[in-house]
Amino acid sequence: MSKRSTDLGKGSVGKLLLKLALPAIVAQLVNVLYNIVDRIFIGRMPSGDIAMAGVGIAFPIIMTISAFSALIGMGGAPLAAIKMGEGDNEGAEKIMSNSFAMLLILGAILTVVFIIFKEPILWAFGASEATIGFAIDYLTLYLIGTIFVQIALGMNPFIYTQGFAKIGMATVISGAIINMVLDPIFIFVFNMGVKGAALATILAQIVSALWVLYFLLGKKSIIKIRKKHLVPNLKVVAPIMALGISPFIMQSTESLVLISLNNKLQMYGGDLAVGAMTIMSSIMQIVTLPIIGLSQGAQPIISYNFGAKNLDRVKKTFKLLFINCIAYTIIMWGLLMLFPEIFVAIFNKKPELVEITSMSIKIFFGGIFLFGAQIACQQTFLALGQAKISLIMALLRKIVLLIPLIFILPMFFENKLKAVLMAEPIADILAALTTMLCFSIFYKKTFLNNDNINF
C-alpha cells in the first residue's frame, strides 16, 4: 500500500489534522476570494450597487451548478477513502472513474438547460427591470464553462481524500490567482463590465480543471481515473449519489434560500435590500468556508480509519474538529456583531448600502455562533458514510426551518424586512441544537463502550 495512504492510519491525529487541514483551510479562504472577488470589482463599477444585485440574482443558478459537483465529488470521495482504508484501491478507482463520467454528463445537461431557460428563471428569482440585464450578461458567459466547473469542483475532493492536501490547495489557488488578475483587466481595462467578471471566472475554472485531471491521471495519484471504469455503473453510482445527496441539498437549498430571500427582500426593501443580501451571502462564505476546509482535512482521516476499523482515531479526529469549528464561529459571530461596517466596506462604500447591510448583518448572523457545531457533526456523518442521517440534517436547517420561516415571520411583525432576516438565526440555532443531539446519540451507540463522553 502507498506510504501516503498508510500515513492516514498512523501518527499523531492532531499533527495529521493540522497537516491536512491547513492547506484545505488556505484553499477555502482563497476560494472565498475566488467566489467574491467578482462582486468586489463589480461593486466598484459606476452602477456597482445595481450590477451587484444583478449578479446576486444569478447566484442561485451558479450555486445549483456547484451543488451538482458536490453531489458527485463529496459523495464519491469519502466512499473512495473508505475503500482505500479497507485496502481495496481497485474499488476506489471504480468510484472515482464513475464520478468523473457522471460529472461530464451532468455538466452537459446543466449547460443546455440553463442556457435555454435562464431568462424566465432569473425573473422568477426576483430580477427587476434594473437588474435583469446584468444578471443575463454575467450568467450567459458563466454557463459556457459549466463542464469545467463540474470537473474542478467535483474531482478535487478525490485529491484531498488521498491525503494530498497541498495539491488540492493548489487547484483552488491557481484558479483564484488567475481570476483576481483577469477580473480588473476584463472589467475595467477592456470595459466588459459583468461579462468580464464571468469570463475571468470561467478561464480560471478551466485552468483548475486541467490541473485536477493532470494529477489524477498522473503517477503521483494513488488511485487513478481508469478508462475501463468510465461507463457509469448503477451499483457504483447509486451509493455515490445516496451519500452525495446531503451536500447537494446543503448547496442547492442555499439557492432556494437565496431565491426566497431575494423575492421577499425585493418586496419589502427593493433593489437596495437585494444588494445587501448579495454582500451578506459573500460574508457567509467568509465565515463558513474555513470550517469547510477544516472538515475537508478531517474527512480523509475519519473515512480511512473508519474503513480500517480504527475507531479511536476517528473519535480523536472528531473531537478536534468539533472544538475548532465551534471556537471559530463564536469568534466570527463576535466580530460581525461588533464591526459589521468593516465587512460591508470590502464590497461597497455607498452610505445607504452600508447602512442597510450593517443593520441586516446584526440580525441575519445572530445565530452563527453555533454553526461550527452543526458543520462538525454533519460533515462527520458524511465522512462515515451515513447517508440517511446526513440527508435529514441537511434538510432540517433550510427546507424544514429556514425557508418556511422566511414566509411565515413577516405575517407576525410590523417591520417586514427585519422579520425576513430573523428567519436565519432562528433556523441556525434550532438546526444546530438538533444536529448535536442526533450526533450525540449516534456517537454513543457507535463509538462508546464504557466511556461517558458527551458533546
Q: What is the pLDDT of residue 140?
A: 94
CA–CA gap between residue 329 and residue 433 (Å, rounded):
15
How far, in whole angstroms, is CA 270 from its chain's centroid? Answer: 27
- pLDDT classification of 359: cutoffs 50, 70, 90: very high
* The pLDDT of residue 188 is above 50: yes
Mean pLDDT over 270-280 rounds to: 84
CA distances from 366 to 397, 415, 431 (A): 15, 17, 14
Mean pLDDT over 104-114 rounds to: 97
Exposed e or buried b for every residue in 394-433, given b needs 16+ CB within 10 A? Answer: bbbbbeebbbebbeebbeeeeebbbbbbbbbbebbbbbbe
Q: How many residues are present in the chain? A: 455
Query: At residue 181, what is the residue type?
Result: V
* The pLDDT of residue 237 is above 70: yes
- Share above pLDDT 70 across residues of the chain, in percent, rounded to a whole number: 95
Q: What is the pLDDT of residue 262?
A: 82
Asked if residues 277 and 10 have their Cβ atoms less than 8 Å apart, the reply is no
Q: What is the pLDDT of residue 436?
A: 94
- SS3 state at 386: coil
Q: What is the pLDDT of residue 35?
A: 62
Here the cell at position 204 is 480560471
At 283-338, the pLDDT tens digits run 888 888 888 888 878 988 998 888 888 888 889 999 999 999 999 999 999 999 99
How far, in whole angstroms, is CA 197 from its chain's centroid? Answer: 20
Mean pLDDT over 269-292 rounds to: 84
At 136-150, the pLDDT tens digits run 999 999 999 999 999
Asked if residues 391 and 248 have their Cβ atoms less than 8 Å apart, the reply is no
Q: What is the pLDDT of residue 32?
A: 67
Mean pLDDT over 176-185 rounds to: 90
301: Cβ contacts below 8 Å, ≥ 6 apart: 8, 13, 16, 17, 20, 313, 314, 317
Asked if residues 157 and 296 have their Cβ atoms less than 8 Å apart, the reply is yes
At 44-67, the pLDDT tens digits run 787 777 887 788 788 889 988 999
* The pLDDT of residue 33 is above 80: no
Q: What is the pLDDT of residue 34?
A: 63
- Share above pLDDT 90 across residues of the chain, in percent, rounded to a whole number: 48
* The pLDDT of residue 362 is above 90: yes
Instruction: Count other Cβ atoms within 10 Å, centred on residue 275.
Output: 31
At 405-433, the pLDDT tens digits run 999 999 999 899 999 999 999 999 999 99
CA distances from 45 to 40, 192, 279, 282 (A): 9, 11, 15, 18
CA–CA gap between residue 414 and residue 246 (Å, rounded):
36
- SS3 state at 198: helix
* The pLDDT of residue 225 is above 90: yes
Query: How buried is 120 (Cβ within 10 angstroms: 0-12 exposed, 13-18 middle, 19+ buried)?
Result: exposed
* The pLDDT of residue 6 is above 70: no
Here the cell at position 218 is 498522473
Here the cell at position 355 is 447602512
* The pLDDT of residue 198 is above 50: yes
Crossing angle of helices 371-383 and 311-338, in 10° steps, is 150
In 86-193, alpha helices (H)? 89-124, 132-144, 146-160, 165-184
Residue labelled with grid coordinates 461596517: 341
Q: What is the pLDDT of residue 31?
A: 66
**Average confidence score pLDDT of the chain:** 87
CA distances from 217 to 149, 214, 375, 407 (A): 18, 6, 32, 48
Most confident option among 103-107, 126-130, 443-447: 103-107
* The pLDDT of residue 455 is above 60: no
Query: How buried is 220 (Cβ within 10 angstroms: 0-12 exposed, 13-18 middle, 19+ buried)?
Result: middle
Residue labelled with grid coordinates 452610505: 351
Q: What is the pLDDT of residue 5?
A: 41
Q: What is the pLDDT of residue 434?
A: 94
CA distances from 305 to 5, 66, 317 (A): 11, 28, 10
Q: What is the pLDDT of residue 299?
A: 84
Which conformational region is residue 193 in: left (phi greater than 0), alpha (psi within -120 to 50 degrees), or beta?
left
CA–CA gap between residue 433 and residue 406 (Å, rounded):
20
Q: What is the pLDDT of residue 176?
A: 85
- pLDDT classification of 3: cutoffs 50, 70, 90: very low
